[in-house]
Chains A and B, each alone.
Chain A
Amino acid sequence: MLELLPVFEWLYGLAESIGLSGTLLTVVVYSVLGVMMFGILALLALFLVWWERKIAAHIQQRFGPMRTGWHGWYQTIMDALKLLQKEDIRVEKRDKVVFFWAPIICFVAAFLAYVVMPFGKGLIVADLNIGILYIIAVTTFTVISLLMAGWGSNNKYALLGGMRSAAQVVSYEVPMVASILTVIIFTGSLSMVDIVESQSGWVWNWFIFRVPFGPIAFITYIIAATAEANRTPFDIPEAEQELVAGFNIEYSGMKFAMFFLAEFVNMFTVSAIAVTLFFGGWQGAFLPSWAWFLGKTLLVVLLLMLFRWTYPRLRVDQLMEFAWKILVPITFANLIIAAIMKYAGWYW
């Protein structure tokens, strides 16, 4: 079983043998961990891009990438390399500082959530006691980066995309947080490890199986999360037919790649949160804990991908109405039901 603790100890031992100490030691060890996490997530994002293309193709009765390797498995690696070599086009009338920082902030915000992500038993960078709240807080930087990209490009399509995304993410944050709170009522802790451990034991301890609030909370969460990740049927910010590409229209090369990778990392993030909250996180028999976590998360990712390629996009007004008139009341009613059940002790 792969655990992080031995890796940590090995790293500490290595760093200490060089002669580092105190603050510097912590800084070095966490930097190495950060780089490791970045590498794993970048690979994962590349895989997700390829997977999405394959799923889309098969839904549309095509093959998708086939020419590079077995079923085109290294197509996205080649695409990424190509993007790195491309010219970095800078629009003449851009807002220089804002245009430059937008993709960087988007990229960093996407990876920040993984500080508290429990990949497996003991496989977590830092078990903050505000875990899930921390994730909700740092993901708000994604919105700011999209707004910056929209503004900095000095392009009306980009501006519209950025504005739509801000309106959408701010609206859908409310039902998303309310769904998460439904689970938090029962765990009594915001720590990601505590949330997973409160679902230990048999499979009916997973929050998805705790009727009636569990499944409802999961459904509302996954809807809100799809909107948060800007994916179809909620991909208004980058609706290709209306806005060409939305907020990232003026970006090319490396900067575009950063937005693109961040989008797929975000998709993995919301799925991983869903798994942690509702599907028992790393819990499972026989296989190592990280394999369970990865497998469950990829299943949720698959669900999001199927959404994308089988549902049509909502209109802007429908999107807002759905958030405020349907989703918010349902999540709050569900939250109250969960609170009553917790108070009365009607749960297991």
Chain B
Amino acid sequence: MVESNVGPVFYILAFLIIASAVMVVSLKNIFHCALALVMCLFSVAGIYILLNAEFLAAAQVLIYVGAVAVLMIFAIMLTTNLASRNIKQVTENALVSVFICALFCLGTIFLLWATPAKIWRYATESLPVDNTAIIGKYLMTEFVLPFEVVSLLLMAAMIGAIVLARKERS
């Protein structure tokens, strides 16, 4: 459902996302970078709410802010002497990365420009009330394979983390 008041809210959120994303890659203190990342991910959840995808927004906050970002901050705190050190965020490959980013940006703009306008549209009616249940049903029926592949991937990552942690100890 598009309302007339979506405009300013969207621009505020977009500004927050971009500003905090720039902060993530430019701040000197890595703890501040992690907090900026939290802000960035939280603002993305706001965009989801604007698009009436409340479940996605809650999942975004729960997983990215509640689990991923907290674990990142936790890891930063556990690493000794990271607090006082100023991290240099730009390497000698800066020129190459600027080039790649520009290419990516151009590609995205081209994609937006080339796609016919009628494909980019908002849903005109609000989602069914039980859309969370419908998402669940689809995950367990039609999209069960990608769902399982993702869980396998996470499992592999978890085992990898355990292996790495054990090696360090011995």
B12 contacts the other chain (CB 8 A): no
- Cβ of A144 and Cβ of B62 under 8 Å apart? no
Chain B residues with CB under 8 Å of A14's CB are none
A95 contacts the other chain (CB 8 A): yes
Chain B proximity of A173: nearest CB distance (Å)? 7
Chain A residues with CB under 8 Å of B65's CB are 137, 140-141, 144
Chain A residues with CB under 8 Å of B67's CB are 140, 170
B70 contacts the other chain (CB 8 A): yes
Name the residue of chain B whose CB is nearest to the CB of A170. B70
Chain B residues with CB under 8 Å of A22's CB are 4-5
Chain B proximity of A179: nearest CB distance (Å)? 16
- Cβ of B74 and Cβ of A130 under 8 Å apart? no
- Cβ of B54 and Cβ of A143 under 8 Å apart? no
Which of A76-84, A158-166, A198-206 is the interface stretch? A158-166
Which of B14-22, B30-38, B106-114 is the interface stretch? B30-38
Name the residue of chain B whose CB is nearest to the CB of A128. B54
- Cβ of A189 and Cβ of B54 under 8 Å apart? no
**Which of B4, B62, B83 has a CB less than 8 Å from the CB of A133?**
B62
Chain B proximity of A290: nearest CB distance (Å)? 25
- Cβ of B132 and Cβ of A173 under 8 Å apart? no
Chain A proximity of B58: nearest CB distance (Å)? 4
Chain B proximity of A317: nearest CB distance (Å)? 16
- Cβ of B66 and Cβ of A173 under 8 Å apart? yes
A344 contacts the other chain (CB 8 A): no
- Cβ of A129 and Cβ of B66 under 8 Å apart? no
Residues facing B in A18-63 (CB within 8 A) are 22-23
Complex Cα spacing A205 to B170, Å: 54
- A107-149 interface bits toward B, Cβ cutoff 8 Å, 1 = contact, 0 = none: 0000000000000000000001110011011101101100110
Complex Cα spacing A143 to B71, Å: 11
Chain B residues with CB under 8 Å of A148's CB are 35
Complex Cα spacing A137 to B63, Å: 8
**Which of A97, A134, A140, A188 has a CB less than 8 Å from the CB of B70?**
A140
- B50-80 interface bits toward A, Cβ cutoff 8 Å, 1 = contact, 0 = none: 0000110111011001110111011001100
Chain B proximity of A91: nearest CB distance (Å)? 14
Main SS of the interface on chain A?
helix
Complex Cα spacing A232 to B60, Å: 31
Complex Cα spacing A140 to B4, Å: 32
Complex Cα spacing A154 to B129, Å: 47
Chain A residues with CB under 8 Å of B32's CB are 97-98
- Cβ of A138 and Cβ of B130 under 8 Å apart? no
Chain B residues with CB under 8 Å of A172's CB are none
Residues facing A in B106-145 (CB within 8 A) are 129-133
Chain B proximity of A186: nearest CB distance (Å)? 13
A190 contacts the other chain (CB 8 A): yes
Complex Cα spacing A189 to B130, Å: 7
Residues facing A in B5-46 (CB within 8 A) are 5, 29, 31-32, 35, 38
- Cβ of A140 and Cβ of B62 under 8 Å apart? yes
- Cβ of A129 and Cβ of B61 under 8 Å apart? no
A151 contacts the other chain (CB 8 A): yes
- Cβ of B35 and Cβ of A129 under 8 Å apart? no
Chain B residues with CB under 8 Å of A97's CB are 32
Chain B proximity of A270: nearest CB distance (Å)? 16
- Cβ of B132 and Cβ of A138 under 8 Å apart? no
- Cβ of B66 and Cβ of A137 under 8 Å apart? yes
Chain B residues with CB under 8 Å of A98's CB are 31-32, 35
A-B contact pairs, 15 of them (CB 8 A): A22-B5, A95-B29, A97-B32, A98-B35, A128-B54, A130-B58, A134-B54, A136-B62, A137-B59, A137-B66, A151-B31, A162-B77, A166-B74, A188-B133, A189-B133
Residue numbers of A with Cβ under 8 A of B are 22-23, 95, 97-98, 128-130, 133-134, 136-138, 140-141, 143-144, 147-148, 150-151, 154, 159, 162-163, 166-167, 169-170, 173, 188-190
Given contacts A128-B54, A136-B66, A167-B74, 14 further A-B contacts (CB under 8 A): A98-B31, A98-B35, A130-B57, A136-B62, A140-B61, A140-B62, A140-B66, A140-B70, A144-B38, A144-B70, A147-B77, A151-B31, A162-B77, A166-B73
